[in-house]
Structures are given as C-alpha cells and as structure tokens.
Structure 1
Amino acid sequence: MKKEKIIAKLEKHCSEKLYVRLTRKKGGFQGISTGFILDKSPDFILLQETDDFRVLGYQIIPIQTIKHVRFNKNDKTIHRILKEEGVINEVKAKHKIDLTNWNSIAEDIKATELIIISECEHPKQNFFCIGQLKRINKKSISIRYFNAQGVLDKKNTKHKFKDITKLSFDDRYANVFSKYLRE
C-alpha cells in the first residue's frame, strides 16, 4: 500500500474511531496490531490495542513500519460486536502523549511512571524489554529490565529509537507483573 493511502486511512480511522487491523513490517519482520487509533502525528500513532473483544493497553507505532491498513467485512463485524458489547465505551486515551518524536513520547510516558515494553521485532535483532523507563537520551532510552521471574537487572538496558518497532505501556501484563518485582 502506498504511503499516501496509508496516511489517509490512518487519518480516517483516527477521526472516525474505527476498529483497525494494521500490518506492520520492518526488514524481515511482519506483524499485526489491532485496535483503535487514538492519536496520530506525521511519524507515529497511538493505538489502544484490542484482542478477543477486550480493550488492552496502548502502543506507540512508527508509521514508517505500517504497510497496510485494513477495515474489511471481518473488521466491520468486529467493530459492530465491540460496539454492541459496550467495549468501545472503554476506548479512550488515559494519558496525553506528545507524538512529535521519540524523545517527546518517552518524556510523556516516563512521567506516567508506568512499566513499558520496548520491542524490536526484526528477526535479526528481536529484542523485548519490559521495565521502568529510567533515562531518555537523544537517540535511545534506558529501561530497568525485569525477567520472567520478576527479578530486576542491576544495570539498565539501552534501546535505540531507530530499532523500536513498538512501544507499549499501561497494559495488563506489565501492570500486574510490576507488582511482583524483586531485586
């Protein structure tokens, strides 16, 4: 799909609060995100993710990684069900995030003090880092990572902005897990 068409569809879905299925791609990675676009800038979108007819957390997605925007008969059916189930009433931005650039995004998310998940889904790099956002640099962020047992690393993990394909925050997984962290 051409970039102009992607931008137009993102605008439409954002302004009309329509359910959307996004195909994201970077290098050898391809993935799907579904939900509602709550805000958009020239370079990023703020998506409230949905899955199994539930509203989940928030994702910041670079527009350059979006290769297709879909709202076909299947998606229209999901949208109708979400509406009839009252789930669409839960769709809202609880946090104001400045989508100008990665630095403004990181500053606003850091101010929430929420746990984040930073991902590079490219097969050769493939990183997943969950933890508290500790530092914001010109070209990267540093996160106090915790592992699958809830043990915090002693040192922060650095992620370059150029490698991030998705930054998630205020989702159930991260919020619940963060209550059980240990040194």
Structure 2
Amino acid sequence: MKKEKVLQKLEKHCSEKRYTRLTRKKGTFEGITTGFILDKSSDFILLQETDEFRILGYQIIPIRTIKHVRYNKNDKTIERILKEEGLLSEVKAKYKVDLTDWNSIMKDIKATELTIISECEHPKLNYFCIGLLTRINKKSISIRYFNAQGILDKKNTKNNFEDITKLSFDDRYANIFSKYITEK
C-alpha cells in the first residue's frame, strides 16, 4: 500500500475510532497488530490493542513501519461483536501522550511510572525489553530491564529510538509481572 493511502486510512480510522488491522514491517520482519487508533501525529499512532475479543493496553507505533491498514467485513464483524459484548466502553485513551517525537512520547510515558515494553522486531536486532523507563536521551532510552524470572538487571538497558518498532504500556502482562520483580 502506498504511503499516502496508509496515511489517509490511519487518519480516517483514528477520527472514526474504528477497529483496525495493521500490517507492520521492518526489514524482513512482518507482523499484524489489531486495535483502535486513539490518536496520531505525522510520525506515530497511539493504539489500544485488541486480541481475541479482549481490549488490552496501549502501543505507540511508528507510522514508517505500517505497510497496510485494513478495515473490511471481517474487522466490522469483530467490532460489532466487541460492541455487543459491551467492550467498546473500554476503548479510550487513559493517558495524554504527545506524539510529536520519541522524546515527547517518552516524557509523557515516564510520568505514568508504568512498566513499559520496548521492542525491535527486526530479525537482526530482535529485542524485547521490559522494565521501568529510567532515562530519556536525545536518541535513546534506558530501561531497568527484568528477565523472564522477574530478576532486575543491575545496569540499565539502552534502546535506540530508530530501532523501536513498538512501545507498549499499561499492558496486562507488564503490569502484573512488574509486581513480582526482585533484585539479585
């Protein structure tokens, strides 16, 4: 899909708060994300993710990684079911996030004090970094990462803005897991 068409569809689905299916790509990585676009800027969208008829947490996605935007009969059916199940009332931006650039995004997210998940889905880098946002630099962030056993690293992990393909926050996985972290 051409970039202009992607931008038009993102704008339309954001203004109409429609359930949307996004195809995202970076390098040879290609993935699907579904949810409701709550806000957008010229470079980023704020999405409330959905999965299996559940309304989940929030994601910041760089528009440059979005290759296709879909809202067809399948998506309309899912949206109708979410509505009939009374779940559309959960679709709302609980946080104000300035989507101007990564620095403004990170400043607003840091203020929430929520655990974040920073991901680079490009196969050569392929990282998943979960933890507290501790520092915001000009071109990167530092996260106090915890591993799959819930053990905090002694040092912060640096993630470059240019590598981030998805940033999640107020996510059930991160919120629950962060209650059980320990230091070694």
TM-score range, shorter chain: over 0.9
TM-score with structure 2 setting the length = 0.99
Pairwise CA RMSD: 0.4
Q: Deviations over 1:102-121 (max 9, x none)?
A: 00000000000000000000
Matched with 1:137 is 137
Q: How far does residue 144 in structure 1 lie from its aligned partner after superposition?
A: 0.2
TM-score with structure 1 setting the length = 0.99
Query: Partner of 2:96: helix, strand, or coil?
Result: coil
Q: Which runs of 5+ in 1 are unaligned?
A: none
Q: How far does residue 69 in structure 1 lie from its aligned partner after superposition?
A: 0.2
Q: Does 1:56 align with 2:56?
A: yes
Query: Partner of 2:182: helix, strand, or coil?
Result: coil
Q: Does 1:38 align with 2:53?
A: no
Counterparts of 2:85 and 2:5, CA distance in 1: 31
Alignment of 1:67-106 (within 5 A): 67-106=67-106
Matched with 1:175 is 175
Counterparts of 2:156 and 2:165, CA distance in 1: 20
Which residue identity does 1:59 align to in structure 2? Q
Q: Deviations over 1:145-174 (max 9, x none)?
A: 000110000000000000000000000000
Q: Which runs of 5+ in 2 are unaligned?
A: none
Which residue identity does 2:26 align to in structure 1? K
Which residue identity does 1:154 align to in structure 2? K
Counterparts of 1:72 and 1:93, CA distance in 2: 24
Matched with 1:47 is 47
Query: Partner of 2:20: helix, strand, or coil?
Result: strand
Q: How far does residue 61 in structure 1 lie from its aligned partner after superposition?
A: 0.1
Q: How far does residue 66 in structure 1 lie from its aligned partner after superposition?
A: 0.2
Q: Deviations over 1:71-127 (max 9, x none)?
A: 111111001101111111110000100000000000000000000000000001001
Query: Partner of 2:108: helix, strand, or coil?
Result: helix
The number of equivalent residue pairs is 183
Counterparts of 1:9 and 1:157, CA distance in 2: 35
Matched with 2:127 is 127
Alignment of 1:2-17 (within 5 A): 2-17=2-17
Counterparts of 2:103 and 2:66, CA distance in 1: 20
Query: Partner of 1:11: helix, strand, or coil?
Result: helix
